[in-house]
Structure 1
Amino acid sequence: MPVPSYIQDINVAKSAPPPVEKLKLEWVYGYRGKDSRNNLFILPTGELIYFIAAVVVLYNVDEQIQRHYTGHNDDIKSLSIHPDKITVATGQVAGHDRREEKPHIRIWNSLSLQTLHVIGLGHFDRAISCIAFSKADGGQHLCAIDEANEHIMSIWQWQRESKLVEVKSSTDTVLACEFHPSERNTIVSCGKGHINFWIWDRTGITKKSGIYEKYDKPRFVNCIAFASNGDVMSGDSNGNIVIWGRGTNKIVHVLPNVHEGTVFTICTSNDGVFLSGGKDRCVIKWDVNYRKLASAKIDEVFGSIRTFGRGPGSQIVIGTTKNNILTGSFETKWTPIVYGHVEELWGLATHPTLHQFITAGFDKNIFLWDALEHSVVWFKSLPESAHSAAFHPNGKIVIVGLCNGRWLALELSSQQIVSSHSDGNEQVECLAFSPDGNSLAIGSRDNMIYVYSVTEDGQKYSRIGRCIGHSSYITHVDWSADGQVLQSNSGDYEILFWNKGNCKQIATTSQLRDIDWATSNCTLGFNVCGIWPDGADGTDVNACCRAPRAHNLLASGDDFGNVNLFKYPCYQPRANCHTFVGHSSHVTNVQFVNDDSKLLSTGGKDTSILQWNVSI
């Protein structure tokens, strides 16, 4: 690493202080509907409550305000609302935090966001797949099922944080559990190949499995709900709704083939009317006598119906398998109010002059977001999975790098592809325009950097050459302020420098010691070496970004779900920083908006986008 000439002495024993600025979570984009159930409710405050990554979101749609519960340190898998409609229980998987790294349940107040109880540290295995508050006794008890091999069901007196009883539930996957609303000692659970009816007291739990008799046993029982007369309703993978007699494990009625494919959710209301939704994207309304009253279908682009939330009057919110939340009624159309990516997310780029940003994911979708309005400007499906993105300095063109070696130039105003190129057949890892917009560098999984000249305001691209010399895949590139030199990092931790004109490596790095770099996206380099914690390997820090206007802050994202904020330059080893949590997966990218006021971060497999305010 060439050391700038103004650095006279480096004391490796000295630790640099953190910046005075800190981050505050402002907005969470996304929703976890792909693989989670029963996780969308409407509180008496009018707020939607749902989760993604390690954050529970309380979203007032009318006022466009979000609040966040951030007590968890890894993926939230389950959620339950107490009968008082204020107390909330959320369960998580095993986390990174040494003190609370085991799966556990947090019980908290949805008004104050204060944690009331932490339950089950050391009692659960892998994750909490289902939780439910009791109803008939006013919510004194909590049932939880974990993801151990035998899916242990336990019942807790949660206010005392004491476990009353536990039992092996099933060797197969358990998808849902609920207390009966009017019988104090009855619990129903369901999952792969089973529905079970449990009677419990302080001495133990007894189980009766549902008997299908003359009916075909489904591969999955996906959801349960309770009719107004106390009967149990279940929806299954055969497309049937099955009615089980109150207090029995026997079928009293079947609504056959009400959905094409799986019934994912059933939602009841106080008047006995209930809704069903499934893989066929249909919403069906039923009366208390199981007669169909109305039906509607949501658009294919939003995915299948995963769960319902009921609001005042006829309002319904729908969580979908493609991580969207829709609102509407049978009389109106279904409108998306929350969008999200569905597959792993790496591509992130911020607009050079506006508070807008692009995300590009493995789900083949790209979104243009407005960071002020917290909304989607547009979204577009691509022919292949996407991994990277970069804005042209004019703000009119965005480049998206795909996982098959292709890259596309899109015009922002029309969303039309104005140029398409291929460089090899491996993933486009990173993209960067020179400050004047006349050059484009493309870092590939094939160990090469492809350099293009750019004309016609970002509409036309001509390859200048290839930078050949790295012995592993390219991870990051930066341009010099004059657009004549490139620096690059690779998967085997090399730092190389290149002459743009001939694409040749610059071997004498001492002449580059005082070069002014336009960006600081390379995670390896003298000015960023302090972002690496002791004992880290070269893959633990995935991204970093310097504040584009003031050049005084440096943000990084790591494999532990952390977003870190340092002073820039950050060349002192063991530099102190402020660390912020919310992601549950590796943080794949971080980018400041053009005026340094906000930071965006993306979570890889948690598919979330977190927007942070930067303030003192």
Structure 2
Amino acid sequence: MYAPTTMTDFNPSKPVASPVEKLKLEWAYGYRGRDGRNNLYLLPTGEMIYFIAAVIVLYNVDEQIQRHYTGHNDDVKSLSVHPDKITIASGQVAGHDKKEGKPHIRIWNSLSLQTLHVLGLGHFDRAVSCIAFSKFDGGQYLCAVDEANEHIMSVWHWQKETKLIESKTSADPVLACDFHPGDKNIIVTCGKGHISFWNFENNILTKKQGIYEKHEKPKFVNCIAFASNGDVMSGDSNGNIQIWGRGTNKISHVILNAHDGTVFTICSLPDGNFLSGGKDRNIIKWDANYKKTASSKLDEVYGSIRMLSCEKGSQIIVGTTKNNILMGSFDLQWSPVVYGHVEELWGLAVHPTQHQFLTAGEDKNVFLWDAHKHSIVWQKCVPEGAHSAIFHPNGNFFVIGLNSGRWIVFEIASQQIISSHTDGNEQIECLSFSPDGAYLGVGSRDNIIYVYNITEEGRKYSRVGRCIGHSSFVTHIDWSVDSQYLQSNSGDYEILYWNGANCKQISSVSQLRDVEWATNNCTLAFNVCGIWPEGADGTDINACCRAPRAHNLLASADDFGKVNLFRYPCYQPRANCHTFSGHSSHVTNVQFVHDDSKLLSTGGKDTSILQWNVSA
């Protein structure tokens, strides 16, 4: 890498301060419904509470306002609301950092978002998979189950931050735990192949296994709830709902084939009725005598029903396995209020002139989002998993790169396919239009960059040639401001330069040292080399981007769930930066909107999209 000829006083040891600007989380798109449980509730404030990645979202749908609790540093796995409806407990998985990332529980105030207590640092193994406040005594105790080999259940006096007792529960996963609302010191747990009734007295836990007798024992007991008369209700993988007599470990009644397939959730209603939801996408209302009184079925596009929640009134909120949240009732249609990707997410593109952006994921979903209204404009399905996305500079077209080597051009207004091409048979890693809109660079996992000439204002694409020279897959492409040259990075940390018009490699790198690059999205380049932390390997930074208008900021996405903000240019080794948490897995992409006012970031396995405000 060569410094520009104008830089005569370059001193790599001279420290550079972090930027004045910082990021504040404005909106979190998505919901963890695919594998989350007991993670969606309504609060008296009118907000629904749920989690995605390491963020707990408090979302008021009527006022279109989100607040966020960001005390966790990795995936939130469990959630419980105290009987006072203000205090919240949330549990997380083991994080990236061996010292700071231990699984633990945080108790916090949902009005002020202040952390009140931290429980269990060093006590839990792998993750806190389910938690529950006691109810009979006004919420004095907290029960938690971790993901150790024997799934240890512990009971805490949470205000004193002391563990009272712990016990092994089962070698199989535990999916739910809850205190009985009407009987003191009774805890119920359920999971793979079991339901257990615990008595917690004088700091001793005693267990009775649920006895099925003549009834078929299910492979999984997925959920529990409490009837108005104190009976325990459980839903299983056979589609049945069992009623366990209050104070016993025996079945008093069974609703056979309540659902076609697994029952994922049961929700008790204040009037003594209850709801159930399952894999068959049916929401069913039952009366106190276990008779069906109403039912409704969600469209297939939303997925199965993971979680149901309802407070006073008829409004029901539904969390689904395709990471959507819907609101509605049996009298009204179900309206989606939260959309999300379900599988790994890498594709992100911002509109060149509007506050809109695209995301494209392995789940074959492409969303166009409105960053002002925090809503989707439309959702589209592509034929296979998508990995990359970009807008044409005129803002009228966009391109989606797929896993098979195919890439498709769409018109935004009609969402119709304008053009479709296939280059190689491996994943399209990255896409880049030249600033004048005349060329498209297509970076493939087959180590080649395919260059296309564009005519008819973005409608017609004809191949110019192939840039062959990388010895690993192409990770990033950037055009020069004058649309003449390309620079590219690859999986083995190469930086190569090319003539865009004839696809010839430029081996005399020094002659391009003064070239100005359009986006500076190559993670390996002179003006961005300071984003690499000490000891990093070449895979630790997944993406970077420069503020497109002011050119004063540089953001990076790393493998540790962090979004980092630097001054630009950023050529001092291990430059100072501001670091922001919210994602839990590797952050796959970052992009500023066209006027630098917001930054968007995507999480890979956590499937989240976080929108940050940029302000001094």
What TM bracket, shorter-length normalisation? Answer: over 0.9
What is aligned with 1:265? 265
Q: CA deviation at 1:99?
A: 4.5
Q: CA deviation at 1:456?
A: 1.3
Q: CA deviation at 1:9?
A: 3.0
One-letter amino acid of the structure 2 residue matched with residue 571 of structure 1: Y
CA distance in 2, matches of 1:15, 1:319: 48
CA distance in 1, matches of 2:100, 2:177: 25
Listed as ranges, the matches of 1:343-382 within 5 Å are 343-382=343-382
Q: CA deviation at 1:416?
A: 1.1
Deviations 1:441-469 (A, max 9, x none): 00000000000001112111100000000
Q: CA deviation at 1:10?
A: 2.8
Q: CA deviation at 1:501?
A: 1.5
One-letter amino acid of the structure 2 residue matched with residue 555 of structure 1: A
What is aligned with 2:112? 112
> Secondary structure of 2:530's partner?
helix
One-letter amino acid of the structure 2 residue matched with residue 369 of structure 1: W
What is aligned with 1:438? 438
Q: CA deviation at 1:292?
A: 0.6
Deviations 1:487-516 (A, max 9, x none): 000000000000011101001111101101
Structure 1 stretches lacking a partner, 5+ long: none
Deviations 1:1-43 (A, max 9, x none): 1210111133232221111111110000000000011100010
CA distance in 2, matches of 1:287, 1:184: 26
User: More displaced, 139-148 or 88-97?
Assistant: 88-97
One-letter amino acid of the structure 1 residue matched with residue 431 of structure 2: L
CA distance in 1, matches of 2:451, 2:203: 72
Q: CA deviation at 1:408?
A: 0.5
Does the aligned pair in 2 maintain the 1:16–1:574 contact within 8 Å? Answer: no
CA distance in 1, matches of 2:537, 2:436: 35
What is aligned with 1:448? 448
User: More displaced, 345-354 or 409-418?
Assistant: 409-418
CA distance in 1, matches of 2:75, 2:458: 40
- Equivalent pairs: percent with the same residue? 75
CA distance in 2, matches of 1:431, 1:379: 21
One-letter amino acid of the structure 2 residue matched with residue 226 of structure 1: F
Listed as ranges, the matches of 1:149-188 within 5 Å are 149-188=149-188
Listed as ranges, the matches of 1:35-54 within 5 Å are 35-54=35-54
What is aligned with 1:318? 318
Note if 1:406 corresponds to 2:394: no
Q: CA deviation at 1:424?
A: 0.4
Does the aligned pair in 2 maintain the 1:165–1:202 contact within 8 Å? Answer: no
CA distance in 1, matches of 2:397, 2:270: 52
Listed as ranges, the matches of 1:467-616 within 5 Å are 467-616=467-616
Listed as ranges, the matches of 1:278-427 within 5 Å are 278-427=278-427
CA distance in 1, matches of 2:220, 2:485: 59
CA distance in 1, matches of 2:396, 2:173: 49
Does the aligned pair in 2 maintain the 1:73–1:97 contact within 8 Å? Answer: no
One-letter amino acid of the structure 2 residue matched with residue 88 of structure 1: I
CA distance in 2, matches of 1:347, 1:463: 23
User: More displaced, 200-209 or 376-385?
Assistant: 200-209
What is aligned with 1:85? 85
> Secondary structure of 2:447's partner?
coil
CA distance in 2, matches of 1:292, 1:594: 53
Does the aligned pair in 1 maintain the 2:270–2:311 contact within 8 Å? Answer: no
Q: CA deviation at 1:98?
A: 5.1
CA distance in 1, matches of 2:504, 2:2: 18
CA distance in 2, matches of 1:97, 1:118: 17
TM-score (norm: length of structure 1): 0.99
CA distance in 1, matches of 2:358, 2:270: 43
Q: CA deviation at 1:96?
A: 2.9
> Secondary structure of 2:190's partner?
strand
> Secondary structure of 1:505's partner?
coil
CA distance in 2, matches of 1:380, 1:235: 34
Does the aligned pair in 2 maintain the 1:15–1:574 contact within 8 Å? Answer: no
User: More displaced, 308-317 or 394-403?
Assistant: 308-317
CA distance in 2, matches of 1:571, 1:565: 14
CA distance in 1, matches of 2:290, 2:414: 48
CA distance in 1, matches of 2:448, 2:9: 35
What is aligned with 1:225? 225
Q: CA deviation at 1:361?
A: 0.2
Deviations 1:242-298 (A, max 9, x none): 000111110000000010000000000121110000000000001111111100001
Does the aligned pair in 2 maintain the 1:74–1:95 contact within 8 Å? Answer: yes
CA distance in 2, matches of 1:252, 1:129: 29
One-letter amino acid of the structure 1 residue matched with residue 450 of structure 2: Y
What is aligned with 2:189? 189
One-letter amino acid of the structure 1 residue matched with residue 434 of structure 2: S
One-letter amino acid of the structure 1 residue matched with residue 470 of structure 2: H
CA distance in 1, matches of 2:518, 2:605: 30
CA distance in 2, matches of 1:203, 1:341: 44
Query: How many aligned residue pairs are there?
Result: 616
> Secondary structure of 1:27's partner?
strand
CA distance in 2, matches of 1:233, 1:421: 55
CA distance in 2, matches of 1:208, 1:323: 35
What is aligned with 1:250? 250
Note if 1:73 corresponds to 2:70: no
CA distance in 2, matches of 1:116, 1:99: 21
> Secondary structure of 2:492's partner?
coil
One-letter amino acid of the structure 2 residue matched with residue 112 of structure 1: S
Q: CA deviation at 1:339?
A: 0.1
Q: CA deviation at 1:535?
A: 0.4
Q: CA deviation at 1:308?
A: 0.9
CA distance in 2, matches of 1:267, 1:526: 57
> Secondary structure of 1:347's partner?
strand
Structure 2 stretches lacking a partner, 5+ long: none
CA distance in 1, matches of 2:601, 2:552: 18
Deviations 1:115-136 (A, max 9, x none): 0000000000000000000000
CA RMSD of aligned residues (A): 0.7
CA distance in 2, matches of 1:202, 1:438: 77
One-letter amino acid of the structure 1 residue matched with residue 557 of structure 2: G
Q: CA deviation at 1:401?
A: 0.2
Q: CA deviation at 1:97?
A: 4.1
CA distance in 1, matches of 2:443, 2:201: 63
> Secondary structure of 2:357's partner?
strand
CA distance in 2, matches of 1:151, 1:549: 52
Note if 1:277 corresponds to 2:274: no
What is aligned with 1:121? 121
CA distance in 2, matches of 1:399, 1:476: 16
What is aligned with 1:4? 4
CA distance in 1, matches of 2:371, 2:92: 29
Q: CA deviation at 1:417?
A: 1.1
CA distance in 1, matches of 2:580, 2:505: 38
Does the aligned pair in 2 maintain the 1:105–1:119 contact within 8 Å? Answer: yes
CA distance in 2, matches of 1:116, 1:304: 35
> Secondary structure of 1:17's partner?
coil
Does the aligned pair in 1 maintain the 2:279–2:304 contact within 8 Å? Answer: yes
CA distance in 2, matches of 1:583, 1:203: 38
Deviations 1:392-416 (A, max 9, x none): 0111101000011100001111111
User: More displaced, 268-277 or 349-358?
Assistant: 268-277
